């Protein structure tokens, strides 16, 4: 997918880098796989604001995505590649041979009319879902499960992928998008290929209003607040604000926040690159 540079007819389009949408083949979603998205404006059930900088935004519908790919051996035809307003990746509508329909994350290179299938004995081709034990070493995969049967949890955003490096003692070694190396049970499912819309990271919104359309309100810096509002607020003139920390006083840069005895520590071979 490519980006398009707009003619600078307004200040908002001068620096805008917009998605071209040339990979999308349907403009309306499948009605049976869509549900409403209720907006909270950052308020809880008492109407009290618990999250700041949330509010407004265009109405959106949630597409129900199949992250499990548990219809083993049933071939499916890709009916269309579609846009999803709630995620960065494209999604693909599948029509299964038994009449069922489902949305999956669209891998890079998947086209309308192609056939995909999930199961232990299928070919490791783009869009097919297999257990890690059946995928050749060195293959790029996405939507990888952390726990068998729970559904894909790793590498689901636009352009992300995981590389399968090794297998030993029932564990598969993966190189994560962050650079971390970790083990996952080799019975966990993964989909072959990288997630579509890799150019998402290069998009430029062009103006503040487009961020408001996404439901995000302006976020002001802690340094610009008063001491009653933020630990970094206050001071005469433009004070630096001291050590960077969050609104609740937690140090923001360099402090380790991971639990020292987390269950998955034994599965991590090397941590992400600093």
One-character DSSP codes across 59-106: --EEE-B--S---BT--EEEEEEE--TTSSS-EEEEEETTS-EEEEEP
**Domain count of the fold of the chain:** 1
Give me the pLDDT at residue 153, please: 97
Q: Is residue 226 part of a domain?
A: no
Does residue 104 belong to any structural domain of this protein? yes
Does residue 149 fall inside a structural domain?
A: yes
Q: Domain containing 106: what range?
A: 19-197+263-270
CA–CA–CA angle 110, 68, 129 (5° rounding)? 45
What is the per-residue pLDDT for 254? 86
- Is position 40 within any domain? yes
Q: Tell me which H or E stretch contains 19.
A: strand 17-19
Predicted confidence at residue 240, as pLDDT, reads: 86
Q: Answer yes or no: is 9 within a domain.
A: no
Q: Is residue 97 situated within a structural domain?
A: yes
Calculated CA dihedral for residues 249, 251, 256, 258, nearest 10 degrees: 30
DSSP 8-class letter at 187: T
DSSP state letter for 15: S
Q: What is the pLDDT of residue 1?
A: 58
CATH number of the domain at 62, please.
Answer: 2.40.50.140
Nearest-angstrom CA–CA distance, 61 and 29: 9
Amino acid 141: pLDDT: 98
User: What per-residue confidence (pLDDT) applies to 227?
Assistant: 93
Structural contact between residues 21 and 207, judged by C-beta atoms closer than 8 angstroms: no
Residue 225 lies in a domain: no
Q: Which residues in 4-23 are b (16+ Cβ under 10 Å) and which e?
A: eeeeeeeeeeeebeebeeeb
User: What tokens appear for 89 in the block?
Assistant: 């990746």
Instruction: Report residue 4 CA to chain centroid gap.
Output: 22
- The verdict on residue 82 lying in a domain is yes
Question: Would you list the DSSP string of 32-67?
Answer: GGEEE----TTB-TTS-B-SSSB------EEE-B--
Position 169 scores a pLDDT of 95
- pLDDT tens string, the chain, 274 residues long: the values are 589 999 999 999 999 999 999 999 999 999 999 999 999 999 999 999 999 999 999 999 999 999 999 999 999 999 999 999 999 999 999 999 999 999 999 999 999 999 999 999 999 999 999 999 999 999 999 999 999 999 999 999 999 999 999 999 999 999 999 999 999 999 999 999 999 999 999 999 999 999 999 999 999 999 999 999 999 999 998 888 888 999 999 998 888 888 999 999 999 999 987 7
C-alpha span between 194 and 202 (Å, rounded): 17
């Amino acid at each position: 997918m490519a980006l398009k540079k707009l003619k600078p007819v307004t200040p908002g389009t001068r620096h805008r880098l917009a998605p071209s949408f040339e990979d999308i083949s349907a403009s309306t979603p499948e009605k049976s796989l869509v549900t409403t998205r209720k907006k909270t404006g950052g308020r809880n059930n008492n109407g009290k604001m618990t999250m700041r900088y949330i509010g407004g935004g265009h109405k959106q519908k949630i597409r129900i995505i199949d992250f499990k790919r548990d219809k083993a051996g049933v071939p499916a035809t890709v009916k269309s590649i579609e846009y999803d307003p709630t995620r960065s990746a494209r999604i693909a509508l599948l029509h299964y041979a038994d009449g069922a329909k489902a949305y999956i994350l669209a891998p890079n290179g998947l086209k309308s009319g192609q056939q995909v299938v999930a199961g232990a004995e299928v070919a490791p081709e783009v869009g097919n879902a297999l257990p890690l034990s059946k995928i050749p070493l060195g293959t790029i995969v996405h939507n990888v499960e952390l726990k068998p049967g729970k559904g894909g949890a790793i590498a689901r955003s636009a352009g992300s992928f995981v590389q399968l490096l090794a297998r030993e003692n029932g564990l598969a070694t993966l190189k994560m998008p962050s650079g971390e190396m970790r083990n996952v049970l080799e019975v966990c499912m993964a989909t072959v290929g990288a997630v579509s819309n890799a150019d998402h990271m290069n998009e430029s919104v062009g103006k503040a209003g487009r961020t408001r359309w996404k439901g995000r309100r302006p976020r002001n810096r802690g340094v610009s607040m008063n001491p009653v509002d933020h630990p970094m607020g206050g001071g005469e003139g433009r004070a630096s604000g001291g050590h960077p920390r969050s609104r609740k006083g937690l140090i923001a840069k360099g402090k380790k926040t991971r639990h020292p005895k987390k269950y998955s520590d034994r599965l991590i071979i090397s941590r992400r690159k600093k």
